[in-house]
Amino acid sequence: MKKWFAVIGDPIAQSKSPEMHMAWYEEANVDATYIPVHVKPENLEEAVASLKLLGASGWNVTIPHKQTIIPFLDELDELADKMGAVNTVVRTSEGKLKGYNTDGPGFVRSLEDVIGETQRDEPILLIGAGGAARGIAFALQMAGYCHISIANRTVEKARNIIDELGMGQALSMKEAEQQLESFKIFIQTTPAGMSTGNFDLPFSLEKFPKGAIAADIVYNPLMTPFLHAAQAKDATIVNGLGMFVHQGAIAYQHWLQSYPNTNVMIARLTKQLGGN
């Protein structure tokens, strides 16, 4: 029987997930479909019950439902539980709904697509301490990265993640700005630089070390002001598109037990976003 998958969110029309998953099904000859479903917060419980009743094999979850869906699921995997957020739901063979979070692991794969696995001892500075930063921090730790510090406008939020990680420092943006030279890998996770955003990079890159690694999880535009500034200091650049594609690929793997072609998808979406 044909399988079907979905992505639920509010808004949802802008999501590139349906196009990405449908292209993967076509490429691998998988008899499945993937649809966007607009779900308002007040309808979430009913929407989950309906997806289950109508036989969806799994679905992705996006803003604003990543936390609020949890009470309607039967179980969570370890990372989703730690993060308190779910972006992928799998219907298990027993008919249970299990929540996963593939955002953080997706980021780690995209980073290692570019820099390999040999830099796990290098000091990392995460900029931002929101939901995405939290997932990335735990996924980096699970992958074996062992020096992670976090700078955030609200230092207390950075402190909370650092305390849970049991490593590194929680810094204000000013403190981070002064200590940039002591880090090798920089991961920008705030919405600064988004095409729809309206605020600047949270700090000056005057002391940005030469030859570092600079990742941004914003992917529209592909080259954010942070990446432009880092490139001017000879940094190796990792844009946010790889994270998006790999979070989808890991969800695909949970549902269909194989890993789709991420390189072709990254090239295709890069072109759509005006990159090369």
Does the protein bind ligand NAP through residue 259 (CB under 6 A)? Answer: no
The least CB distance from residue 244 to ligand NAP, in Å, is: 4
The least CB distance from residue 121 to ligand NAP, in Å, is: 25
Among residues 2, 3, 52, 66, which one is catalytic? 66
Q: Check if 184 is active-site.
A: no
Does the protein bind ligand NAP through residue 7 (CB under 6 A)? Answer: no
Using CB under 6 A, which of 27, 50, 199, 271 touches ligand NAP?
199
Using CB under 6 A, which of 76, 129, 170, 249 touches ligand NAP?
129
The least CB distance from residue 186 to ligand NAP, in Å, is: 15
DSSP string, the chain: --EEEEEEESS-TT--HHHHHHHHHHHHT--EEEEEEE--GGGHHHHHHHHHHTT-SEEEE-TT-TTTTGGGSSEE-HHHHHHT--SEEEE-TTS-EEEE--HHHHHHHHHHHHH-STTTTS-EEEE--SHHHHHHHHHHHHHT---EEEE-SSHHHHHHHHHHHT-S-EE-HHHHHHTGGG-SEEEE-SSTT-TT-----SS--TTPPTT-EEEES--SSSS-HHHHHHHTTTPEEE-THHHHHHHHHHHHHHHHSS---HHHHHHHHHHHTT--
Q: Which of residues 78-117 bind ligand NAP (CB under 6 A)?
A: 103
Does the protein bind ligand NAP through residue 128 (CB under 6 A)? Answer: yes
Does the protein bind ligand NAP through residue 130 (CB under 6 A)? Answer: yes
The least CB distance from residue 133 to ligand NAP, in Å, is: 6
Total chain residues near ligand NAP (CB under 6 A): 24
Catalytic center residues: 66
| Residues at the contact surface with ligand NAP, assessed by CB under 6 A | 103, 128-133, 152-154, 157, 189-191, 194, 199, 202, 217-219, 240, 243-244, 247
